[in-house]
A and B are shown apart, each in its own frame.
Chain A
């Protein structure tokens, strides 16, 4: 199973093995990793699973399609950056084995 590293805003690291085809959000929630709230449960409807994708991984995860629901929700999130994604919209694949994401100060 691909291994994903989640780094909290405080710097605390968590690693989780996440089954293929689940989302990066689900990997955090199922492993009780704090800092991802996922209020809407993965519907791309709330922006509380916001993560910053490590620059080295950005080409693999991609960035939100302009005009998409994800881009729209992220545009309302506090603290969004160019490497922001909603982790419910990143599907885990073999290519993402080793992915590193950082969590924002708060999920708003």
Chain B
């Protein structure tokens, strides 16, 4: 967390030459030492050109307002897979897996509209009871008086159940979805990742496409229903997708549908444990939960960055961006920009305008499932407060080696007996 950062990290970030600052190193997210680098860039060089990184040259866009400008100008700043897609690290040619998050209009629009009804208000209202029932069951089964991993027992369990419901996937095999999610998004250079090369990732994604493709074919033969596979099977814009696009679309829905919320479920508890005054405020007034949920999502910022590619020359924050340039918008930084958010390094559960944060993105690619994510987090905290006045965090979180997903791999906790 930000304030008690090591002095050494601060002075390293402040003494390095500006030209040498490269915020794409996944290590700074695993070590949680990214804050001072972005603070310096926002102050001294908000739209920062990195000439030479392991991912080539790129622009680091660090301020809220500049990020917003990129988000709303999708005509200039493209998400297209052919141009490099949405991550600073590109998928290798021939193994790239397009999906609507990696497309521009009109195809993006057509495909997004196929799946978005799954999270429309009426469907969310239908799902609320089910989510609450499951949350209660998971929480009531937690051990008392012994240390366990919050990520595995709560965050992964709840979000995997949600995913199985959204896909109408065989219940007992649901952790397979979590595995594919981790395969789809992991950094293959981390020893902790489930796969260790792009070839291996592609092979596992192929198996995923075969397994889910079989289910999809079954759904295509049945009348349309309200699960993602059925929607894809019956959607005009999605029913006949090339294999790599099918893989990409499944990955998008699986990762988007669980990994981000998983990390907010963990990150929220950790943030509260680091801010006991806020935790007490919450116990004293559970009506603060909805605002706190937004604050958790801001503070955690589950997606670290998005990448765009400039389709024409443009100007951004006073810098000349050339056609073909890689433009990386760092949500972690925009969400800590004091010009947009008061006292941004603090976790404040009753802050004014908590919904104004960048974590869901803005513009046409704004997170489809944002309301479902908020719903799951709200229910989790409502039910937690009813049961456990105290949840002790017993050790530091182990974070994920990634510059894209702001993940927490494990968090040891104990509920007093």
Chain A interface residues (CB < 8 Å from chain B)? 37-41, 43-48, 69, 72-73, 75-76, 78-79, 104-106, 108
Contacts and interface: CB of A to CB of B under 8 A. Distances in A.
21 contacts: A39-B360, A40-B362, A41-B353, A41-B356, A43-B68, A43-B72, A43-B362, A45-B72, A45-B362, A45-B366, A72-B105, A73-B364, A75-B113, A76-B109, A76-B112, A76-B366, A78-B119, A78-B120, A79-B121, A105-B121, A108-B371
Contacts of A108: 119-121, 371
Nearest to A37: B355
A45 B71 contact: yes
Nearest to B105: A72
Contact of B116 (A37, A45, A76, A104): A76
Interface string B361-397: 0111010000100000000000000000000000000
Interface of B: 68, 71-72, 105, 109, 112-113, 116-117, 119-122, 124, 353, 355-356, 360, 362-364, 366, 371
Contacts, number: 58
B209 to A, nearest CB: 26
Nearest to A29: B353
A45 B119 contact: no
Contact of A45 (B68, B121, B124): B68
Contact of B355 (A39, A43, A104): A39
Contact of B109 (A45, A72, A104): A72
Q: Return the 7 tightest CB-CB contacts between A and B, nearest first.
A: A45-B362, A106-B121, A78-B120, A39-B355, A45-B72, A45-B363, A105-B121
Nearest to B121: A106
Contacts of A44: 72
Given A37-B355, A75-B109, A46 B120 contact: no
**Residue picked from B112, B117, B356, most chain A C-beta under 10 Å:** B356
A106 B121 CA distance: 6
A48 B68 CA distance: 16
A38 to B, nearest CB: 8
Given A40-B68, A106-B371, A46 B364 contact: no
Contacts of A41: 353, 356
Nearest to B124: A106
Given A69-B363, A72-B105, A108-B120, 17 more contacts: A39-B362, A40-B356, A44-B72, A45-B71, A46-B366, A47-B366, A72-B364, A75-B109, A76-B109, A76-B116, A76-B364, A78-B116, A78-B121, A106-B121, A108-B119, A108-B121, A108-B371
